[in-house]
Chain A
Amino acid sequence: MGNFHLVRRADYSIKRVIIYYLIGILISLSIGAILLMSLNINPIEYYSRMLSMGLIGNKFAYKNVESLIKIFVPLLITSLALGLAFKMRFWNIGGEGEFLAGAICASVVAFNSKGMNPFLTVLLMCIAAMLSAGLIGLAVAALKVKFNTNETLMTLMLNYIMLYVIKYLGDTKADWNFFLREDSDRPIFGEFPENAEMGGITIGFFTLQYSLIVAVILTVLIYFYIKKTKQGYEISVVGDSAATAKYAGMNVSWIVLRTMFISASLIGLAAGLATSTAGTVSDSITNNVGWTGIIVAWLSKLSIPAIFVTSILISVLQYGCRAAATQYPAIDQNFADILQGIILFSVLVTDFAATFRIAKREEASNG
């Protein structure tokens, strides 16, 4: 290899970042265009349908906006929560598992809530979800603090454990299993009673779900938590250097435990809200936010306002890709996923190129 190596650019220029991002998006869209043309599809038509999320000419556009919000809210909250842990250099890649744990516990409340006050039901669902997910996060953090276990492996494996737990619940017909529809001979998840379903503010046909309001308030709160509070400051110090934190007299173990509990229980909250808006649970309830949230957090450089914007963009991208695919017989969901992947990948690559440059080794060593 020898002669070349990567150097972090000293001058971080926002202009360059934006230009690089645009180039990245342009390249990915051109690759997509070639693929589309090879399938005899007009790429401009396709992309305009994708960017408008299929809302043009849509008889029930308001419903599609509601669906978009249902995708956006869990992604936003999960990304924020993951961002908190990442800021502390704690690699919580267990968003999926924590989300599922939260979803399961929220459903336990929901399925047994018949006749309860709706507000109280949803509140209880969220608390159950936050506690269960938070405890999982706390357990992983405790193992890390006590035995220095690898949190990446722990959280990763927990994703699969929780996935199989929910699959088991969905596949097992038994008297005790209140998760399933009773009148069906084949196992299928039931629906929550109405009081467990998220309400909203009705504007004409459109219903603005309360979950969106919660998510927006939460974004502001987390922003202030990180920027303005002592705890938020401690998180970034531990993230920069645990030794420094210790030297400054901070209780590092306590900070790790606390932050991981908050991070995981926020993901639980996302799950509580998501099950309530869905009115049911399933093994795909996460919509992969545990994974996508990692991308969102890193694309946003862990900045809270950027996470907010990036979550919107990714939701639009996801929804738009799906909406565009329905109209073209040649394009299936897999193609839409590929296109989405190409776009994300190019943005990540250009982001890398905007932060680093390739330098000749002589420059550095002989100087």
Chain B
Amino acid sequence: MRKLISIVLTAVMAVASVLAFTGCSGNAGGEAASSFKVGAIYINSKNDTAGYTYAHHKGITEAMKQCGLDPEKDLYIVDNVPEDDEKVSQAIDQLAGDGCNIIFGISFGYLNAFDEAAKKPEYADIVFSHATGYLSNDSNFNNYFGRIYQARYLAGIAAGYKSLALGNNEIGYVSAWGTEYAETCSGINAFALGAQSVNPDAHVNVYEIYTWGDQEKERQAAEILIDTYGCCVIAQHCDSAQPQIVANEKGVFGCGYNSDMTKEAPESHLCAPVWNWDVYYATAIKAAMEDHTTFMTKVGNYYEGLNAGLVGVSELSANNEPEAQEAIDLATDLMKSGNWDVFSGVKLSFSGEKGAVTMAQADADLVDNTGAVIVAAGGASVDDGVIQGSMNYYVEGVTQVNSAE
């Protein structure tokens, strides 16, 4: 009896595989060459409605429309791919097999698999583009990320005005990680410097939750920052809107992340640093559509900020102090001009009433919270490599309230 089952099942299997193989020999390459196809590998679901994957998915689909492509037809996605070389390689093989001309990987841990795939001769015609990584080659593999710290500086300005108006210098910051990751660390520092440009006494209390996303932990962290440390503004670098929802419940204020969280926290949200990923994706797709061989000379490793519109702050809500918008505009223009950047030996300060806000620049040491000088007064900004990779200290006025383990 069992033999019979196995025979029947084997027969089914055989038929299926015959179907598969006749199909592939018949069709191979036929329809693939007709149009440009975009491939994407996501860490979470493509149907997410908020968070990191959502932001990238929105960026890719919008960029495709700008380039005259139809995301319904020309976009191939493998989602929920963990940071596991084997599974990422499989996803790449799948997308390459589907005929994708450019493949985006949005998570840092896809690094090895992208590096390996780009080396393969059979994939020489495919452009590999990897977010948040640091590897690349000369022909078909780049990395991309943005100066989100600039946007955090702007959000810091809004928070600084709020703390000044409330007469409370304590600001809270719920962060996925602390000094272990340059990405979170530079964000915290930029936010603190932004707040201090308005309120020199502003003090940022960091609560680290040791994970990129966990709604319960995000919630608890915000509660502790408000109840125990008396924070009047809650900023965040984590996936969900929970810290903002807590701020709203407890009647304090907050700056979200990734999307305008005013809809989750209508009474309390000020503004959120956001990514406009479509700016990069449109650039990359256009370049790859024109000629994939010149991709690395035209686009190369991409690291842009406010100047390109890749990052920004969401529209300021009515909860903001009246001066915030003008100050943010002034700082934005200055950073766009390229004459000043956040981690330099020049500090900005804002003063004046609404309608007459002025911005002053003064040379001052950039000092970490142990008192060590990072950039001497008047010095140039720290290297991009530091901001992206090796920054592992907090600036003056920042304290991590839970132990750094």
Co-complex (A, B) = yes
| B263 within 8 Å of A (CB atoms) | no
Asked if B97 contacts A64 (CB within 8 A), the reply is yes
Q: How far is the CA of A57 from the CA of B20 in the complex (A)?
A: 9
Query: Contact: A326 with B4, CB < 8 Å?
Result: no
Contact flags A171-196 to B (C-beta < 8 A → 1, else 0): 00100000001011110111100000
Report the Cα distance A329→B72, complex, angstroms: 6
List B contacts of A55 (CB < 8 A): 20-21, 23-24, 97
Of B24, B90, B134, which contacts A184 at CB under 8 A?
Answer: B134
C-alpha gap A55/B361 in the complex (Å): 62
Which residue of the partner chain, among A51, A59, A66, A332, contacts B79 with CB atoms under 8 Å? A332
Q: For B75, give its contact among A66, A282, A329 (CB under 8 Å).
A: A329
Residues of chain A contacted by B89 (CB below 8 angstroms): 67
Given contacts A282-B82, A284-B82, contact A323 B94 (CB under 8 A): yes
CA distance A64 to B78 in the complex (A): 14
A66 neighbours in B (Cβ, 8 Å): 93
**Are B109 and A188 neighbours in the complex by a CB distance under 8 Å?**
yes
Contact present for B108 and A56 (CB under 8 Å):
no
Contact: B2 with A305, CB < 8 Å? yes
Secondary structure of the A contact surface, majority rule: loop
Which B residues lie within 8 Å of A225 (CB)?
none
**Complex contact A326–B77 (CB within 8 A):** yes
Q: Is the CB of A285 within 8 A of B112?
A: no
Is the Cβ of A316 less than 8 Å from the Cβ of B16? yes
Indicate whether B80 reaches chain A with its CB closer than 8 angstroms. yes
B19 touches A61 (CB 8 A): no
A56 to B, closest residue via Cβ: B23
Q: Are A59 and B19 in touch, CB under 8 angstroms?
A: no
Q: Which of B6-14, B145-153, B250-258, B298-306 contacts A (4 or more CB under 8 A)?
A: B6-14
**Bound CA span A319–B14, Å:** 16
**Contact of A333 with B by CB under 8 A:** yes
Q: Least Cβ distance of A311 to chain B in Å?
A: 11
Interface stretch (choices A12-20, A136-144, A242-250, A289-297):
A12-20
Rounded to whole Å, the gap between the CB of A287 and the closest CB of chain B is: 8
Q: Once the chains bind, are B2 and A301 in contact (CB under 8 Å)? A: yes
B80 touches A334 (CB 8 A): yes
How many angstroms between the C-alpha atoms of A53 and B45 in the bound complex?
21
Give bound CA distance, A190 to B85, whole Å. Answer: 9
Q: Residue A63 contacts which of B3, B19, B93, B99 (CB distance < 8 angstroms)? A: B93
Report the bound CA distance from A308 to B7 in whole Å.
Answer: 12
- Total A-B residue pairs with C-beta atoms closer than 8 Å? 171
Q: CA separation between A53 and B97, bound complex, in Å?
A: 12
Residue contact B94 to A322, C-beta cutoff 8 Å: yes
B79 touches A282 (CB 8 A): no
**B30 at the binding interface (Cβ < 8 Å):** yes
How many Å from the CB of B182 to the closest CB on chain A? 6
Q: What residues of chain A lie closer than 8 Å to B2, measured between beta carbons?
A: 301, 303, 305-306
- A59 in contact with B76 (CB, 8 Å): no
Q: How far is the CB of A310 from chain B (nearest CB, A)?
A: 8
Task: Assess the A60–B96 pair: CB atoms within 8 A.
Answer: yes
A184 to B87, CA, bound (A): 20
Q: Is B86 an interface residue (CB 8 A)?
A: yes
Cβ-neighbour of B83 out of A282, A306, A322 (below 8 A): A282
Is B77 a contact of A329 with CB atoms below 8 Å? yes
Distance between A62 CB and nearest chain B CB, rounded to angstroms: 9
Give which listed residue, B9, B32, B45, contacts A313 with CB less than 8 A: B9
CB distance from B369 to the nearest CB of A (A): 20
Q: How far is the CA of A142 from the CA of B71 in the complex (A)?
A: 58
CB < 8 Å: which of B31, B96, B389 contacts A57? B31
Are the CB atoms of B90 and A67 closer together than 8 Å? yes
Contact A309 B13 (CB under 8 A): yes
A54 within 8 A of B: yes
Q: A14 to nearest B CB, angstroms?
A: 4
A279: interface (CB < 8 Å): yes
The docked-state distance in angstroms from the alpha carbon of A51 to that of B17 is 8
Check A57–B23 contact: CB distance below 8 A. yes
B47: which A residues are within 8 A, CB to CB? 330, 332, 334
Least CB distance, B41 to chain A, in whole angstroms: 10
Let me know if A58 is at the binding interface, CB within 8 A: yes
Contact between chains at A58 and B9 (CB < 8 Å): no
Measured between beta carbons, the chain B residues less than 8 angstroms from A189 are 85, 112
The distance from the CB of A9 to the nearest CB of chain B, in whole angstroms, is 13
Q: Is B29 an interface residue (CB 8 A)?
A: yes
B321 interface hit (Cβ, 8 Å): no
Contact A309 B6 (CB under 8 A): yes
Confirm or deny: A70 has a beta carbon within 8 angstroms of a beta carbon on chain B.
yes
A58 and B85 contact, Cβ closer than 8 Å, known pairs A329-B71, A332-B80, A333-B45: no
A310 to B390, CA, bound (A): 50
Q: Does residue B111 face the partner (Cβ distance < 8 Å to A)?
A: yes
Please state if B9 and A326 are interface contacts (CB–CB under 8 Å): no
Chain A residues with CB under 8 A of B3: 305
B86 touches A326 (CB 8 A): no
Which B residues touch A322, using CB under 8 A? Answer: 78, 94
Q: A63-B96, A278-B86, A326-B98 are contacts. A58–B16 as well, Cβ < 8 Å? A: no
**Are the C-beta atoms of B45 and A282 separated by less than 8 Å?**
no
CB–CB A52/B19 < 8 A: yes
Residues of A within 8 A of B99 (CB): 57, 59
Given A61-B97, A64-B93: A56 and B86 interface contact (C-beta under 8 Å): no
CA distance A316 to B19 in the complex (A): 13
With A and B bound together, what is the CA distance between A329 and B109 in angstroms?
Answer: 24
Q: What is the CA–CA distance of A183 and B134 in the complex, to the nearest angstrom?
A: 10
B1 and A52 contact, CB distance less than 8 A:
no
Decide yes or no: A327 and B76 within 8 Å by CB, A185-B389, A278-B85, A309-B10 being known contacts: yes
B278 to chain A, nearest CB (A): 16
B95 touches A326 (CB 8 A): yes
Starting from the known contacts A313-B12, A332-B80, 15 additional A-B residue pairs (CB-CB under 8 Å) come to A52-B19, A56-B23, A57-B27, A59-B97, A59-B98, A61-B28, A67-B90, A186-B108, A191-B85, A306-B5, A309-B13, A313-B9, A326-B76, A333-B80, A334-B80
Instruction: Rank and list the top 8 A-B pairs by shortest CB-CB distance, nearest first.
Output: A56-B23, A333-B80, A278-B86, A58-B97, A282-B84, A14-B1, A57-B27, A60-B97
**Listed A/B pairs (25) with beta-carbon separation below 8 Å:** A14-B4, A51-B16, A57-B30, A60-B122, A66-B93, A67-B89, A186-B181, A189-B112, A274-B86, A278-B86, A279-B85, A282-B84, A282-B85, A305-B2, A306-B2, A306-B5, A310-B9, A312-B13, A313-B12, A316-B13, A323-B94, A327-B98, A332-B47, A333-B80, A334-B45
A contact residues vs B (CB 8 Å cutoff):
12, 14, 17-18, 51-61, 63-64, 66-67, 70, 173, 181, 183-186, 188-191, 205, 274, 277-280, 282-285, 287, 301, 303, 305-306, 308-310, 312-313, 316, 322-323, 325-327, 329-330, 332-334
